[in-house]
């Protein structure tokens, strides 16, 4: 599986296997350089393949997938023969902030001026620990050219799987957040549609009160525009006593190519 993922060279490659427990299937996910326990985009993509090609229940409205972070429930919403898949990521966990020295190191790696940063960066997890940093303006985010060697070093030092940088200024008026996500430690220089980061940044936004509660009940994130692979992910934050209790991330999915691999 690792050899196949390395050959494809896509950010993640999912493998659908028989479940070990009561789930519908087991998903194993590989970046080009290592296996990872969880990632949003490959889970949604694998779910699309499962419900459209492998499931005996073609009209099923839910799928339970076993992953390295536990069993995930995915809702299947069919709209004019196109499936919208929504994944429960669970309660976000705030791991902590950064010291002044750590923030300076991150700004240096991202090649950002302190004046461009809004609020306080936080490490948040909905399955993977990730660092999120808000910028004041879209222009600064779009022009970013991170030093990926330094970004990888920060990931290793802080135990992260990626750094997400976002702003509330968007290109598309219907979206609420513009996100870029860098994870060179797992072979992903920049991701075009990071489901785990969408959940993580939603957790950060909710925990830090960056958006009002009523907007958390349904908003969309634009990503991938800077690398000419635009995407849109839909997010819903469920609150309990004004605290984020569950985050759901989803998007529309279509098959763009198919083929066979013959092993000697």
> Each residue of 92-105: pLDDT tens digit?
999 999 999 999 99
Q: How many CB atoms lie within 10 A of CB 184?
A: 21
pLDDT of residue 168: 97
Yes or no: say if 200 and 124 are a contact pair by the CB < 8 Å rule. yes
Residue spans of the chain under pLDDT 50: none
pLDDT of residue 256: 87
pLDDT of residue 201: 97
pLDDT of residue 68: 92
Tokens of 241: 């006593």
> Each residue of 50-90: pLDDT tens digit?
988 888 776 778 899 999 989 999 998 887 766 789 999 98
Which residue ranges form the domains of the chain, and what is each CATH number?
Answer: 2-90 (3.10.310.10), 93-246 (3.10.310.10)
pLDDT of residue 245: 93
- The partner residues of 28 in beta bridges, in order of sequence, read 15
pTM: 0.87
pLDDT of residue 142: 97
Nearest of 48, 47, 15, 52 to residue 30 by alpha carbon = 15
pLDDT of residue 11: 86
pLDDT of residue 220: 97
């Amino acid at each position: 599986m690792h050899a196949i993922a390395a050959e494809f060279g896509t950010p993640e490659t999912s493998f659908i296997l028989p479940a070990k427990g009561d789930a519908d299937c087991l998903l194993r996910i590989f970046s080009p350089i290592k296996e990872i326990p969880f990632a949003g985009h490959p889970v949604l993509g694998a779910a699309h393949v499962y419900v459209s090609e492998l499931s005996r229940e073609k009209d099923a409205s839910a799928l339970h997938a076993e992953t390295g972070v536990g069993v995930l429930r995915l809702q299947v919403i069919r709209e004019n023969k196109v499936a919208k898949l929504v994944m429960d990521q669970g309660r976000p966990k705030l791991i902590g902030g950064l010291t002044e020295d750590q923030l300076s190191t991150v700004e240096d790696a991202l090649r950002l001026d302190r004046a461009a940063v809004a609020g306080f960066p936080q490490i948040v997890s909905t399955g993977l620990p990730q660092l999120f940093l808000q910028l004041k303006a879209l222009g600064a985010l779009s022009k970013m050219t991170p030093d990926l060697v330094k970004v990888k070093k920060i990931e290793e030092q802080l135990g992260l799987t990626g750094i997400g940088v976002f702003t509330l200024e968007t290109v598309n008026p219907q979206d609420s957040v513009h996100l870029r996500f860098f994870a060179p430690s797992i072979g992903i220089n920049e991701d075009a549609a990071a489901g785990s980061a969408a959940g993580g940044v939603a957790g950060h936004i909710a925990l830090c009160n960056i958006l009002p509660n009523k907007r958390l009940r349904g908003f969309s994130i634009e990503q991938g525009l800077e690398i000419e692979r635009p995407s849109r992910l839909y997010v819903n934050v469920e609150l309990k006593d004004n605290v984020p209790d569950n985050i759901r991330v989803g998007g529309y999915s279509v098959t763009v190519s198919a083929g066979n691999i013959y092993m000697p």
